[in-house]
Copies of this chain bind each other. A is one copy, B any other.
């Protein structure tokens, strides 16, 4: 993908759609300063090129009964690639695990989990996670509250940075 460049209008489109993914194309076009047809073409291109990976409604987990959010730091016994992948695949199959990131350092993975209540999470922890093959250690931390949960990319920094190079 090298050689693909985004102009200021493309970046504005991405920023606007990140902030409001259901904005109409007419509104979007007006905000980025071009007419609707080229705006829509740009959006489609951004989608095809993978700059936009999808659109999602942000659903409130709490009001659906998912009262518990937990971060789990997981250490494995073997860090051989095959074993790492095996663990990742396990995570993909666990619905309670919403995110699984491989880390450097002492801990091998951090998982973001949700659950309806503590006991459901505890059951998952003991019956699934801790007892999974190759799992050496798990340290969990309950989330007390979310101070910030911003979607995606900090466009302000992107623009700063581009302004300097120019």
Contacts and interface: CB of A to CB of B under 8 A. Distances in A.
Interface of A: 1, 4, 6, 14, 17-22, 49-61, 63-66, 69, 71, 88, 91-92, 95-105, 107, 109-110, 114, 116, 141-154, 156-158, 161
B100 A148 contact: yes
Nearest to A156: B95
B20 A141 contact: no
Contact of A158 (B6, B64, B88, B147): B64
Copies of this protein chain in the complex = 2
Instruction: Give 8 closest A-B pairs by Cβ, nearest first.
Output: A88-B147, A17-B57, A21-B55, A95-B154, A100-B148, A103-B141, A22-B55, A100-B147
A161 B64 CA distance: 12
A99 B59 contact: no
B14 A103 contact: no
A158 B95 CA distance: 10
B63 A143 contact: no
Given A57-B55, A152-B58, A104 B144 contact: yes
Most buried by B among A20, A98, A148: A148
A98 B148 contact: yes
Contact of A116 (B56, B107, B141, B161): B161
